[in-house]
Structure formats: structure tokens, C-alpha cells
């Protein structure tokens, strides 16, 4: 198993220090067993229904997109306010099967940190969340929430002080405490088996959405849209539609963090993917007003979907995202996360009438940052 | 038998002179760190040294020049570039290996490419206390010359005590390594720790502390390396 090289065409793999290889092998075995175990699936379904609030609704958004049939998959209505809880709960349940008592996570916008802290509180596990100090400033309410939930939030004061450094710090913690600790990675990134594991745990989004869309429209949408930072809500949304060749898949990246649009093949955080890197392979700083998209890498499966042409990835500027953030609030009474606002921003320009967007999270956490930017703009 | 002393330095303009001073003071192998922006296996000292070196323009081509300059000063002392997959990916895996060797490298260490991956790339493998016996056997049978024993579960950097995990790791590795020399590194900074590790293994690797001392110049580094050499020889 440790001979795994690449997972998604030429992307993926396990570019990590030897210390972690046995733990990745162990995780792979536990996951292979769990996904075939009806009791595991039943536990996740039960948690989804009674704790998260699944299935999340599908909302038609006529005032936001006049003349189109736009549907929003409402992951913002999940417990903790984003899709991140799907993955965090699944991995924490898996960690309990592995007998791990300590959980670590990285977080950018704070949504994954909150989701992981929540899952740990629910199951009585120790939780440490690494977060760049710049992101702690931008997402202060989430820092307070994590602490209230009993998690320890470790400020990362290195480099850009954002998600990239937080992820490196979490991986270093895991290298140090691998015997007792499970690392709940927050996106479909990292060494195998994480990209596949996270996709499978998030694929509930697409499965539900596909069924709901068929029920209401009697047909599949022309286009499915989701924002892409690491890419977990997008891969979860896309997963159910991959085999529906007639459905166009569109990922939307922050223009200043367009790992797929402007990146090159490189190695970051344990995987080969499309990364913002220079010609020497050194990682370049990303920029986005949205902390959740402010990451120079992306899940390796997205790089493969791009190369094979199955999905298309578009850029969205901070200003475009802010405009969509304000517009959805005014027209539909829904305050989206800045991350999700990127996906909303491209809808108007799509040459399609029937569109589904994954509204990956709610925007409460972004109010201060977004209102300040809108006032300045 | 003489215990091997491996000194790690980050490639910078001063490094060839520093490496010469280290070898004259008793280092047997120089590990030359090619800096990467996101070094997952490294603790704070090497992280910051890497950041500084990159800030001074020590990109892959300059690091290869640094390697060649160091080779010119060191006669036959082995020099082993140590880096991360990202640099090889960008430069080209085969081309990197070829250019490193033509610039005087004796082998390579790639911290985030474990044994079993990229088998065509000849390199020194790392093994860790978490490695299974099966992985120890794989690493030992495919390593290039010696095995790098990571003494602890953690990143590089000085520790107060020599890791208690080393003894068991040496024993387990000896059983499968068939005479391959075992050099212990990570967390070794004092002469006492070096002597303690050398009592178990065939050599020691000193990185973070050497990088710190090297900031004070070749004389300071030579004095430090000599103290390690003396501790290894007096055992």
C-alpha cells in the first residue's frame, strides 16, 4: 500500500516524510474497511440527519438570477454553517475507529476548524486547530467559537500567516504526535488517501443535490458550479455528476489564488497537483479576500478534472465576489460566505438557463471583512 | 571503528568555506540543504534558515553552483544534497540527479519521498521509529550507501535529551539492514548526545545546531564540529 505513487492521473501521491507513511497506510486500511461497513455509513447518516440537518435544502433564487433557473444547494444551513461539517464528522468517526484520542486540524476561514472542534466536542476528543495569525484577525468570530467549543487554537506566525502555513504546522504536529493523533485535513488535498477520503465524505452534497434537482425539474442541470480553494465542496458537489456527461462542471477560483488557472505541476503538502509555484518549485503566495480560498494549492483530483476537460475552472476577483455577496443578501435574504460568493459571481455570465450552485457556507463570519471592503470599494 | 560525523548546512554563498571548516574539524560527510519554501520535515531553525537562503536567491541553479564550489574545496569528502520533492519536480527528476552528480554530489536525500516511491532515483533513505519492519527492509535494500535513522517522531531541531526511541530503531534496523551503515539524526545537538547516539549507530547527523553555529562563521563552526568529533572519538 505504501507503494502508492499517483492517484488521479499524474496527480496525488504521498510526498511526506517516512514517519507518516505507516499512519497513512493505517488510515487507508481503516477507511477501506469503514466504507464497506454498513454500521459506519449508518452512523454517518444518523449524524447527518439528527445533528447536521441533512438533507440540506435546495433553494431557487429567481431574484438573484432573473431569467435563469438557478438553484442553491444550501450547505450554509448545515450545523456550524458550512459543508465542512460533513468531512469533519466523518473523519472524527473514523478516528474513533482508529482509537485516536487527539484530533488536529488546520483552518483558513475557520469553518473547518469550527466543524472539527464541534465534532470533537460531540465525541469528547481533544482538539487542536492551527490557524495563521492573519486569518485569526480576519475571522475572529470563528476563533472565539472554536475556543468556546473547547478547542485549542494555535496561532501560526510564519510566512504568510494564512492557510498554507497553518497546514504545514498541522502536518508537523502530526509528524510529532502521530501515534496518538488523527489529522482531520479540511480539504481534498494532502497525501493519499486524504483527497479520496474527503471527496467521499463530501459527496453527500452532490448526491442529495442531484436527487433534489431531478425531483423539482425532472432533468439534470446544464451547469453545476462551486467555488474552489482546496476544492472540497466542489469535489463533493461534482462527484455525483461526473458520469453525467451532459452536465457541465464549473469550479470558481479566487483570481489571486488560481492554482488551476495560473498554477503549474508542483508538490505541496504531500501531493503533486497544480500549484502556484515558481519555475524552481518554490511555492508562491496566494491572495484572496476570502480566507478559505487563500491557498496556493488545490486538490489533485481537480487538476486531473481540468486536464481531462471534465471540469472548467474560472477566476473571480475580490470585487466580483463582494458584489455577489451583497447581491445575494439583498435579492434572496441569504448572506453567503465570501468563498461561496465566488461561485455565485459567475452565474450571470454562464450561457445556460438551468444552473445549480453549491452554496458552501454562510457569511456571518465575513461580515466585518466584507462590509469594510464594500465601504472602501 | 571511527564513527561517521555528518554535518548539515543550508546552501548559501558562505557554505563552501563553512563546509571546508567543518571537514577540517572532523566532519566525514556534508549534507547540503537546498532550501524549499515549505519544508515539512524541518523544525523552526531550518525553516528560518531556508527562508533566509531563498530570500538571498538560493534557487536550484545557485544551489548546484554552491555544490560544485563546495566539491572543489573538499577533495573526496562525500557531499549529499538534501531537499524536497518540489525542487526535483520543477527541475526534472532525472535532470536533477544528473546535474547534482556532475556538480559533485555523492548521493541525494529527498525528505518527502519515502522508500518505495520513485524507485529509479538513487538516494539515501530515511527510516523512522514508526517504520514497520517491512518498510525498514525495503529502505535498507534500496538505500544508497547508508540509512538515515530519524531518532524521533518529529521534525528536525535540537532536543533536551537524545531520543529514547533510537535504541529500538537501531536494533530493529540492524536485523534487516544486512550491514548497511546506520547514521542517526534529528534532535542531536550536543557532544554528549552525539556520543550517545554513536554508541548505538554507526554515525550521527547534526543539522539545526550546526546551521545556527554556522551563522557565526567558519571558526565557530570548526570549534563546534571539533567538539562533536572529540566526543565521538573518546567514546
Taking an 8 Å cut-off on Cβ atoms, the answer to whether A18 and B132 are in contact is no
Mutate to test the interface with B, among A19, A167, A183, A303 (most CBs of B within 10 A): A19
* Confidence grade of residue A2 (pLDDT, cut at 50, 70, 90): very low
Residue A5 has a pLDDT of 53
Closest chain B residue to the Cα of A4, Cα to Cα: B117
Per annotation, catalytic residue among A73, A75, A106, A196: A106
A270 touches chain B (CB under 8 A): yes
Q: Which three cell numbers stand for residue A349?
A: 455570465
CB A193 within 8 A of CB A150: no
Distance, C-alpha A61 to centroid of its chain: 23
pLDDT tens-digit map of B202-225: 999 999 999 999 999 999 999 999
Taking an 8 Å cut-off on Cβ atoms, the answer to whether B114 and A277 are in contact is no
> In chain B, what residues touch A264 (CB-CB under 8 Å)?
90
Residue B70 has a pLDDT of 98
Domains A26-45+84-197 and A54-82+203-376 share a fold: yes
Taking an 8 Å cut-off on Cβ atoms, the answer to whether A17 and B125 are in contact is no
Secondary structure letter of residue B206 according to DSSP: E
A168 touches chain B (CB under 8 A): yes
Min CA distance, B5 vs chain A (Å)? Answer: 22
184-213 in chain A: CB under 8 A from chain B: none
Q: Which of A171, A179, A279 shows the shortest C-beta gap to B90?
A: A279
Q: Which three cell numbers stand for residue A175?
A: 509528524
A171 touches chain B (CB under 8 A): yes
pLDDT tens-digit map of A175-227: 999 999 999 999 999 999 999 999 999 999 999 999 999 999 999 999 999 99
Q: Which of A81-85, A119-123, A150-154, A367-371 has the lowest mean pLDDT?
A: A367-371
Distance, C-alpha A22 to centroid of its chain: 26
Taking an 8 Å cut-off on Cβ atoms, the answer to whether A282 and B86 are in contact is yes
**CB under 8 Å to B137, separation ≥6 — which residues?**
B176
Taking an 8 Å cut-off on Cβ atoms, the answer to whether B111 and A22 are in contact is no
Beta-bridged to residue A126, according to DSSP, are: A102
Average pLDDT for B26-55: 97
Tell me the residues of B at the A interface, defined by beta carbons under 8 Å apart.
36-38, 40-41, 43, 47, 51, 54, 59-61, 84-91, 111-118, 125-132, 135, 139, 150, 153-155
Residue A377 has a pLDDT of 76
When the pLDDT of each residue in chain A is averaged and rounded to a whole number, the result is 96
Between B60-74 and B93-102, two packed helices, what is the crossing angle to 10 degrees?
A: 30
Q: Which of B51, B91, B132 shows the shortest C-beta gap to A22?
A: B132
* Confidence grade of residue B235 (pLDDT, cut at 50, 70, 90): confident
> In chain B, what residues touch A4 (CB-CB under 8 Å)?
117
Through-space distance between the first and last CA atoms of chain B, rounded to whole angstroms: 11
pLDDT tens-digit map of B172-199: 999 999 899 999 999 999 999 999 999 9
Q: Which of B90, B126, B130 shows the shortest C-beta gap to A178?
A: B130
Average pLDDT for B135-157: 97
Mutate to test the interface with A, among B130, B136, B164 (most CBs of A within 10 A): B130
Average pLDDT for A49-69: 98
Taking an 8 Å cut-off on Cβ atoms, the answer to whether A2 and B135 are in contact is yes
Instruction: Give CB contacts under 8 A, 24+ apart, made by B20-24.
Output: B20/B70, B20/B73, B20/B74, B20/B218, B21/B218, B21/B219, B21/B221, B21/B222, B21/B225, B22/B210, B22/B221, B22/B222, B22/B225, B23/B74, B23/B77, B24/B222
A67 touches chain B (CB under 8 A): no
Distance, C-alpha A360 to centroid of its chain: 8
Residue A1 has a pLDDT of 41
* A360 tagged catalytic: yes
> Is pLDDT above 70 for A3?
no
Q: Which domains can be identified in chain B, with CATH numbers? A: 4-233 (3.20.20.70)
Cα separation, B32 vs B62, in Å, equals 12
CB A208 within 8 A of CB A54: yes
Q: Which of B37, B54, B131 shows the shortest C-beta gap to A22?
A: B131
* A68 tagged catalytic: no
Between B15-24 and B218-233, two packed helices, what is the crossing angle to 10 degrees?
A: 30
Residues of B marked as catalytic: 31, 42
pLDDT cut 70: percent of chain B above it: 100
Report which of B174, B154, B228 is spatially closest to residue B198, judged by C-alpha positions: B228
pLDDT cut 70: percent of chain A above it: 98
A286 touches chain B (CB under 8 A): no
Through-space distance between the first and last CA atoms of chain A, rounded to whole angstroms: 52
Mutate to test the interface with B, among A13, A265, A281 (most CBs of B within 10 A): A281
Cα separation, B229 vs A144, in Å, equals 52
Closest chain B residue to the Cα of A20, Cα to Cα: B130
0.90 exceeded by pTM? yes
pLDDT tens-digit map of B107-121: 999 999 999 999 999
Residue A4 has a pLDDT of 53
Per annotation, catalytic residue among A84, A100, A164, A365: A84
* Confidence grade of residue A7 (pLDDT, cut at 50, 70, 90): confident
* 3.40.718.10, 1.10.490.10, 3.40.50.150, 3.40.50.1100: CATH of A26-45+84-197: 3.40.50.1100
Q: Which of A16, A168, A264 shows the shortest C-beta gap to B38?
A: A168
Domain boundaries, chain A: 26-45+84-197, 54-82+203-376
Min CA distance, A13 vs chain B (Å)? Answer: 9
Average pLDDT for A83-111: 96
Taking an 8 Å cut-off on Cβ atoms, the answer to whether B114 and A13 are in contact is no
Q: Which of A21, A168, A179 shows the shortest C-beta gap to B114?
A: A21
CB A312 within 8 A of CB A305: no
> In chain A, what residues touch B88 (CB-CB under 8 Å)?
281
| Cα A16 to Cα A21, A128, A185, A201, B40, distances in angstroms | 7, 21, 14, 23, 8
* Confidence grade of residue A159 (pLDDT, cut at 50, 70, 90): confident
Closest chain A residue to the Cα of B88, Cα to Cα: A281
> Is pLDDT above 60 for A166?
yes
Q: In the CATH hierarchy, which top-level class contains the domain A54-82+203-376?
A: alpha beta
ipTM tops 0.90: yes
CB A247 within 8 A of CB A237: no
> Is pLDDT above 70 for A70?
yes
Taking an 8 Å cut-off on Cβ atoms, the answer to whether A281 and B89 are in contact is yes
Mutate to test the interface with B, among A3, A4, A18, A190 (most CBs of B within 10 A): A18
> H or E segment at B83?
strand B79-83
Amino acid at each position: 500500500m505504501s507503494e502508492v505513487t499517483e492517484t488521479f492521473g499524474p496527480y496525488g501521491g504521498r510526498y511526506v516524510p517516512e514517519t507518516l507513511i505507516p499512519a497513512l497506510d493505517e488510515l487507508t486500511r481503516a477507511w477501506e474497511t469503514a466504507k464497506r461497513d454498513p454500521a459506519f455509513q449508518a452512523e454517518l447518516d444518523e449524524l447527518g440527519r439528527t445533528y447536521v440537518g441533512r438533507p440540506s435544502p435546495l433553494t431557487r433564487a429567481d431574484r438573484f438570477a432573473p431569467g435563469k433557473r438557478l438553484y442553491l444547494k444550501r450547505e450554509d444551513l448545515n450545523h456550524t454553517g458550512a459543508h465542512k461539517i460533513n468531512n469533519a464528522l466523518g473523519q472524527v468517526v473514523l478516528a474513533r475507529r482508529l482509537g485516536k484520542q487527539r484530533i488536529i486540524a488546520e483552518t483558513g476561514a475557520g469553518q473547518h476548524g469550527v466543524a472539527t472542534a464541534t465534532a470533537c466536542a460531540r465525541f469528547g476528543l481533544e482538539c487542536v486547530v492551527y490557524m495563521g495569525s492573519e486569518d485569526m484577525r480576519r475571522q475572529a468570530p470563528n476563533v472565539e467559537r472554536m475556543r468556546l467549543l473547547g478547542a485549542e487554537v494555535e496561532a501560526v506566525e510564519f510566512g504568510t500567516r494564512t492557510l498554507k502555513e497553518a497546514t504545514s504546522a498541522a502536518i508537523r504536529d502530526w509528524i510529532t504526535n502521530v501515534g496518538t493523533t488523527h489529522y482531520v485535513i479540511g480539504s481534498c488535498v494532502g497525501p493519499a488517501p486524504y483527497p479520496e477520503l474527503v471527496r467521499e465524505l463530501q459527496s453527500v452534497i452532490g448526491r442529495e443535490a442531484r436527487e433534489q434537482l431531478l425531483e423539482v425539474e425532472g432533468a439534470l442541470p446544464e451547469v453545476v458550479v462551486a467555488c474552489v480553494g482546496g476544492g472540497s465542496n466542489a469535489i463533493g458537489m461534482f462527484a455525483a455528476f461526473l458520469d453525467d456527461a451532459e452536465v457541465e462542471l464549473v469550479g470558481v477560483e479566487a483570481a489571486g489564488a488560481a492554482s488551476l488557472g495560473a498554477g503549474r505541476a508542483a508538490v505541496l503538502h504531500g501531493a503533486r497537483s497544480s500549484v502556484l509555484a515558481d519555475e524552481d518549485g518554490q511555492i508562491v503566495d496566494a491572495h484572496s479576500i476570502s480566507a478559505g480560498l487563500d491557498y496556493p494549492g488545490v486538490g489533485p483530483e481537480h487538476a486531473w478534472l481540468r486536464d481531462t476537460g471534465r471540469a472548467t475552472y474560472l477566476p473571480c476577483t475580490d470585487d466580483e465576489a463582494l458584489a455577489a455577496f451583497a447581491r445575494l443578501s439583498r435579492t434572496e435574504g441569504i448572506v453567503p460566505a465570501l468563498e461561496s460568493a465566488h461561485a455565485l459571481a459567475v452565474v450571470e455570465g454562464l450561457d445556460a438557463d438551468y444552473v445549480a450552485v453549491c452554496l458552501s457556507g454562510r457569511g456571518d463570519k465575513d461580515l466585518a471583512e466584507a462590509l469594510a471592503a464594500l465601504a472602501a470599494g | 571503528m571511527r564513527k561517521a560525523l555528518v554535518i548539515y548546512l543550508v546552501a548559501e554563498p558562505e557554505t563552501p568555506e563553512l563546509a571546508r571548516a567543518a571537514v577540517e574539524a572532523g566532519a566525514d560527510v556534508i549534507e547540503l540543504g537546498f532550501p524549499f519554501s515549505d519544508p515539512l520535515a524541518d523544525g523552526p531553525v531550518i525553516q528560518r534558515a531556508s527562508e533566509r537562503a531563498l530570500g538571498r536567491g538560493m534557487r536550484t541553479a545557485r544551489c548546484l553552483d554552491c555544490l560544485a564550489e563546495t566539491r572543489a574545496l573538499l577533495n573526496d569528502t562525500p557531499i549529499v544534497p538534501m531537499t524536497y520533492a518540489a525542487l526535483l519536480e520543477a527541475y526534472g527528476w532525472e535532470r536533477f540527479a544528473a546535474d547534482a552528480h556532475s556538480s559533485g554530489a555523492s548521493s541525494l536525500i529527498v525528505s518527502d519521498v519515502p522508500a518505495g516511491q520513485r524507485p529509479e532515483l538513487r538516494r539515501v533513505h530515511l527510516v523512522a521509529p514508526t517504520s514497520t519492519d517491512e518498510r525498514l527492509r525495503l529502505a535498507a535494500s534500496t538505500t544508497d550507501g547508508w540509512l538515515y535513522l530519524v531518532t524521533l517522531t518529529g521534525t528536525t531541531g535540537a532536543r533536551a535529551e537524545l531520543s529514547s526511541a533510537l535504541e529500538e530503531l537501531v536494533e530493529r534496523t540492524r536485523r534487516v539492514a544486512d550491514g548497511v551503515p546506520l547514521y542517526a539524526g534529528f534532535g542531536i545537538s550536543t557532544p554528549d548526545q552525539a556520543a550517545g547516539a554513536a554508541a548505538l549507530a554507526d554515525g550521527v547527523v547534526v543539522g539545526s545546531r550546526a546551521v545556527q553555529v554556522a551563522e557565526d562563521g567558519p571558526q565557530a563552526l570548526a570549534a563546534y564540529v571539533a567538539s562533536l568529533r572529540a566526543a565521538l572519538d573518546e567514546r
